[in-house]
C-alpha cells in the first residue's frame, strides 16, 4: 500500500518502530497517521478502530493520552501488514 506521509507522520512512525519501546506516543498522533491508511473511528466503548479495504482492526481503549506497550505492538503489526517497515523510514 503506497501512502504519502508528511514529516509529522514520519516522526510518529519513528516513535512507533523505535527501540527500546517508546512510552510517549500520543493517540491523536497515531489516529492522524492511521487516517492515511483507512477510515478511523472511535467505537462506543472508547476503542479506536481502523477500516482498510473492508477489514476492521481495533486498537483498544483510549482512556489515557498515550498508547500502552501492547497497543504500540499492535499498531506496529498493523503497519507492517500495510507494507510499512522501519527501513523505509530511514530512507525517506
pLDDT digit string, tens, across residues 63-72:
788 998 998 9
> What's the pLDDT at 11?
92
Query: What is the pLDDT of the chain when averaged over all its residues?
Result: 84
pTM value surpassing 0.95: no
What is the per-residue pLDDT for 32? 92
10-residue averages of pLDDT along the chain (92 residues): 81 92 90 89 84 83 83 89 71 52
Can you say whether the dihedral through the CA atoms of 28, 82, 7, 20 is positive or negative?
positive
Rounded to 5°, angle at Cα 52 from 10 and 4: 30
Amino acid at each position: 500500500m503506497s501512502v504519502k506521509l508528511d514529516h509529522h507522520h514520519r516522526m510518529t512512525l519513528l516513535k512507533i518502530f523505535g527501540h527500546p519501546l517508546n512510552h510517549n506516543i500520543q493517540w491523536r498522533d497515531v489516529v492522524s497517521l492511521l487516517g492515511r491508511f483507512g477510515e478511523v473511528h472511535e467505537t462506543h466503548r472508547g476503542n479506536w478502530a481502523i477500516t482498510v479495504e473492508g477489514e476492521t482492526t481495533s486498537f483498544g481503549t483510549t482512556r489515557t493520552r498515550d498508547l500502552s506497550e501492547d497497543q504500540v505492538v499492535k499498531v506496529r503489526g498493523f503497519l507492517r501488514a500495510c507494507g510499512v517497515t522501519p527501513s523505509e523510514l530511514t530512507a525517506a
